[in-house]
């Protein structure tokens, strides 16, 4: 469970005020862009895309560098992974057969 609140948008760094925004880490405009970007992703299973959006809106994917590499928080909340659209350091990502939902979330944020 993510308990941190965000004072600035993770995407555009504008100050956040609304409770919904400080909980998700994104302002309303950026959140709309993220959801639009997610709708354009058709090359992954819909349930993985849904998990990816949930990860983003729980503030579970934090941009590290140039909005291309992200730190993902594991669903357990204790481990973190380095995630990019091309790869992820989580166990599923390292097996590398299918894109994990962290990678899909990174893809959404890069496209948003
Ligand atoms: Zn924003
Ligand atoms: Zn992953």
**Res. 2: pLDDT tops 70:** no
Confidence of residue 39 (pLDDT cuts 50, 70, 90): very high
pLDDT tens digits, one per residue of 88-109: 999 999 987 788 999 999 999 9
**Res. 1: pLDDT tops 70:** no
Question: How far is ligand 1, taken at its centre, from the CA of residue 95, in Å?
Answer: 33
Give the global pTM. Answer: 0.87
Closest residue by Cα to residue 112 from 74, 82, 81, 70? 70
Question: How far is ligand 1, taken at its centre, from the CA of residue 39, in Å?
Answer: 19
Tokens 């992703």: give the residue: 41
Burial 70-91 (b: 16+ CB within 10 A, else e): bebbeeeeeeebbbbbebbbbe
Instruction: Using a pLDDT cut of 70, give the percent of the chain over it.
Output: 96
Task: Give just the sign of the alpha carbon dihedral 40, 41, 42, 45.
Answer: negative
Question: How far is ligand 2, taken at its centre, from the CA of residue 17, in Å?
Answer: 30
Instruction: Using a pLDDT cut of 90, give the percent of the chain over it.
Output: 63
54 phi, psi to nearest 5 deg: -60, -40
């Amino acid at each position: 469970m993510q308990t941190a609140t965000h004072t600035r948008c993770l995407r555009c760094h504008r100050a956040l005020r609304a409770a919904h925004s400080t909980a998700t880490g994104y302002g309303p405009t950026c959140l709309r862009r993220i959801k639009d970007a997610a709708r354009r992703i058709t090359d992954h299973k819909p349930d993985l895309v849904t998990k990816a959006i949930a990860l983003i809106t729980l503030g579970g994917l934090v941009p590290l560098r140039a909005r291309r590499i992200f730190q993902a928080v594991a669903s357990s909340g204790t481990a973190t992974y380095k995630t990019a659209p091309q790869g992820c350091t989580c166990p599923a990502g390292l097996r590398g057969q299918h894109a994990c939902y962290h990678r899909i979330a990174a893809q959404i944020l890069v496209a948003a």
